Amino acid sequence: MTFTLQPRWLVALLALTSISPHTAAFQPDLQQQPFRISSASQPLGPTTYVKAQRVAIIGAGAAGSSTAYHLQQYAANATIPLDITIFEASSRIGGRTMTVNALDDPRYPAELGASIFVSVNRILVDAAEEFNLEALEAGADRPSESKYEIGIWDGKEFVYKSMNDDLGFLNMVKLFWRYGLAPLKTQRLMKSTVAKFLKMYDEPQFPWKSLTDMATRVGLLGTTASTGWQFLKSNGVGERFGNEIIQASTRVNYGQNLGLIHGLETMVCMATDGAMAVEGGNWRIFDGMVKKSRAHLRLNTSVDEITRLEEGGYQLSLSKKERHGVCTQTEDRFDSVILAAPFQYTGIKVSPALPHQPDEIPYVTLHVTLLVSPHRLSPKFFSTPTSPLADQDFDSIPEIVITTLPADLDLGSSPDGVGPTKVWSVSTLRSIPVNGSTQYLYKIFSPQPVNATFLSRLLDFSLGAKEDGNDSVDNVDKRHVSWSYEKKWHSYPYEYPRVTFEDLNLDAKGLWYTSGIESFISTMETSALMGKNVAKLIVNELVEKSGSDLN
């Protein structure tokens, strides 16, 4: 899932001007209860009652919420009665979308997880509109106090800085002076790649039963088969632009360098047109989907085991976390089950054993640190002998610092690829008035936890006796860091090149899986798309056998 905000200058440069989201068709809102077949679909005679198919969805993130939402829509259109239950191990909806309030003040919400979606993300855009959620331009609250909006830092120097006048003539001149035609080549390459991807939304491609086959049909398998570097070089994109601009984007979005991440995910990082976020948090989209689905929601409930029954259907063994740490064990039976979470992190036992269990794939460990401080980013931190900065030259430090590797450092496909910068990004999200003074809300992405020593250098303050011997952020004196929040995520897979993807149906019966798409593209939108796809496949199967098996 994309965890970052995109700079507006990059949005302007790489605008997808020829592609716009489609409006979802109206779907009737019907209760998910057993109901009578209407006279429009049955001859006159005795009323026929149809047993509702019971569907379990494991996970209330983007994929699970979308599955429930689209199941309700497709089933209602087909007059197929469904009884949907969502099991979520945590206490909230949203999965890897999560919002907290800076200073515990609801006026200052901040995304801890997936932060943006873009205008070509049809499902998210349409859902936000349907649920009357206000989508704001990404970065709208940024203070714009610095001369520069964004800078790309390689640990030695800023290799590129864009001015806060994001559409200004000088920014465009700087880009083309430094990178030649590489920006235009990248734009064309990204647009052609996105056009292929968008075919997956519509007939005759949608719905698909095999992601591998679908990637082949729309012409994207070659894109996932190569690294970002290989894909860019084969399409004539210059190395300097790749290292300084594109790699900075893959690092801030996915914590991966171009020598590791595949070509398709590389292009996803450059599709920034219309970057937006829902006011109050992107999780509200998925909360709206769950409510619209009329599903039974079981929070704090883990699925321990899925047992396929000889007579058909599945029995779920469940653990419900109660108050005071008490856990109650129950069982429930369903006709179909959708596993809408990475299999390796669920701890679920499946019996009998699956013909092919989803592969365990490595996920990026991402540490997200939010903090509020009266200090601005320190010029001393970014000053080097080869690129000196005056101690009080705050205007020279961009409000968003994203990172890349020095040109002479090649870490290849190493997952430990952060290099000398130690962090993926440091972003100034907004200014906050506190007791008559101005403080700043920062977000830091890093592969390791941020500590007090690092912050003292980044923000230029002295550690006192209170912090001595305890290097945790929450131990920093409140004069320097008035509020902080840290979260560790398994945020997205390492997007190694590959040409095969996980099956959607795990047992050739009624056990479905959505997370295979994350090795293809890992975003809120693609997870929601896979949920929609699985929902359509399930309803299509029910329609095919509705003449006998459902009565």
Per-residue pLDDT of 146-198, as tens digits, reads 999 999 999 999 999 998 865 567 778 888 999 999 999 999 999 999 999 99
Residue 24: the pLDDT is 30
pLDDT digits (tens, 9 = 90+) for 515-546: 999 999 999 999 999 999 999 999 999 999 88
Give the percent of the chain with pLDDT over 90: 79
Q: Kindly report the length of the chain.
A: 551
Three-class SS of residue 288? helix
**Mean pLDDT, all residues of the chain:** 89
Give the full edge-to-edge strand order of the sheet including 158-163: 158-163, 148-153, 400-403, 425-434, 437-446, 363-373, 483-493
Q: How far apart are CA 407 and CA 152, in angstroms?
A: 13
Please say if the pLDDT value at position 325 is more than 80: no
- The per-residue pLDDT for 51 is 85
Using one digit for the tens of pLDDT, what is the confidence trace for 422-460?
999 999 999 999 999 999 999 999 999 999 999 999 999
Residues 6+ apart with CB under 8 A from 122: 21, 22, 24, 201, 525
Question: CB under 8 Å to 478, separation ≥6 — which residues?
Answer: none
**Which tokens in the block code for residue 355?**
């013909």
Quote the Cα angle for 381-385-390, to 5°.
Answer: 55
- Asked, as a colleague might, if the bond just before 46 is cis with ω within 30 of 0, I would say no
The per-residue pLDDT for 399 is 96
Q: At what angle do helices 283-293 and 62-77 cross, to 10 degrees?
A: 30
The pLDDT of residue 41: 40
> Nearest Cα to 429, choosing from 161, 141, 153, 165?
141
Other CB atoms within 10 A of residue 272 CB: 27
Measure the CA–CA gap between 339 and 298, rounded to whole angstroms.
15
Q: Is the pLDDT of residue 31 over 50?
A: no
- Checking if the pLDDT of 125 tops 50, the result is yes
Report yes or no: 316 and 305 within 8 Å, Cβ to Cβ: yes
In 10 A of CB 83, how many CB atoms? 18
Q: Is 396 helix (H, G, I), strand (E, B) or coil?
A: helix
Cα–Cα distance for residue pair 92/90, rounded to 1 Å = 6
Mean pLDDT, rounded, for 14-43: 32
Question: Per residue in 234-253, pLDDT tens?
Answer: 999 999 999 999 999 999 99
pLDDT of residue 452: 96
Tracing tokens 């943006």 back to the chain, one arrives at 116
Give the pLDDT confidence score for residue 466 in this predicted structure.
59
pLDDT higher than threshold 60 for residue 122: yes
Across 80-103, average pLDDT = 97
Q: In this predicted structure, what is the pLDDT of residue 481?
A: 97
Higher per-residue pLDDT: 203 or 1: 203
Direct distance between the N- and C-terminal alpha carbons of the chain, in angstroms, rounded to an integer = 41
pLDDT grade for 383, boundaries at 50, 70 and 90: confident
Q: Give yes or no for residue 47 having a pLDDT over 60.
A: no
Query: Could you tell me the CA-to-CA distances from 133 to 47, 73, 129, 136, 390 in Å, in that order?
Result: 41, 20, 6, 10, 44
Give the model confidence (pLDDT) of 479-499 as tens digits: 999 999 999 999 999 999 999
Is residue 218 exposed (0-12), middle (13-18) or buried (19+ Cβ within 10 Å)?
A: middle
Q: Binning pLDDT at 50, 70 and 90, where does residue 338 land?
A: very high
pLDDT attached to residue 167: 54
Residues 215/206, Cβ–Cβ less than 8 Å: no
416 pLDDT band (50/70/90 cuts)? very high
In this predicted structure, the answer to whether residue 48 has a pLDDT above a threshold of 60 is: no
For the purposes of burial, counting CB atoms within 10 Å of the CB of 353, is it exposed (0-12), middle (13-18) or buried (19 or more)?
Answer: exposed
pLDDT tier, 26 (very low <50, low <70, confident <90, very high otherwise):
very low
pLDDT > 50? residue 407 = yes
355 within 8 A of 530, measured Cβ to Cβ: no
pLDDT at residue 322 in the model: 84
Q: What DSSP assignment string belongs to 9-61?
A: HHHHHT--TT--PPPPPP------S--BPPTTTS-SSS--B-PPEEEEEE--S
Residues 6+ apart with CB under 8 A from 181: none
Sign for the pseudo-dihedral over CA of 129, 133, 138, 141: positive
Instruction: Confirm if 32 and 65 have CB atoms less than 8 A apart.
Output: no
Helix 182-198 to helix 263-270 angle (10° resolution) is 110
Number of DSSP helices (H) and strands (E) in the chain, helices first: 16, 20
Q: Are 510 and 336 in contact (CB under 8 A)?
A: yes
Least confident of 113-122, 317-326, 373-382: 317-326
What is the 8-class DSSP label of residue 88? -
Mean pLDDT of the 58-62 span: 98
Could you tell me the two tokens for 168?
């200004």
Kindly report, residue by residue over 106-119, the tens digit of the pLDDT. 999 999 999 999 99
The contacts of residue 114 (CB under 8 Å, 6+ apart) are 1, 2, 3, 62, 96, 97, 282, 523, 524
Least confident of 143-152, 206-215, 508-517: 143-152
- Say how far apart CA 239 and CA 226 lie, in whole Å: 16
Q: pLDDT value at position 293?
A: 98
Euclidean distance between CA atoms 393 and 377, whole angstroms: 10
- Tell me the pLDDT tens digit for each residue of 260-291: 999 999 999 999 889 999 999 999 999 999 99
Mean pLDDT of all residues in 20-30: 29
Report which of 71, 14, 119 is spatially closest to residue 340, judged by C-alpha positions.
71
Q: What burial class does residue 235 get, using C-beta atoms within 10 Å of its C-beta: 0-12 exposed, 13-18 middle, 19+ buried?
A: middle
Would you say residue 408 has pLDDT above 50?
yes
pLDDT score at 496: 98
pLDDT at 1 over 60: no
pLDDT band for position 3 (cuts 50, 70, 90): low
Identify whether the C-beta of residue 317 lies closer than 8 Å to the C-beta of residue 329: yes
- Tokens matching residue 370: 């939010």
Residue 467 confidence (pLDDT): 58
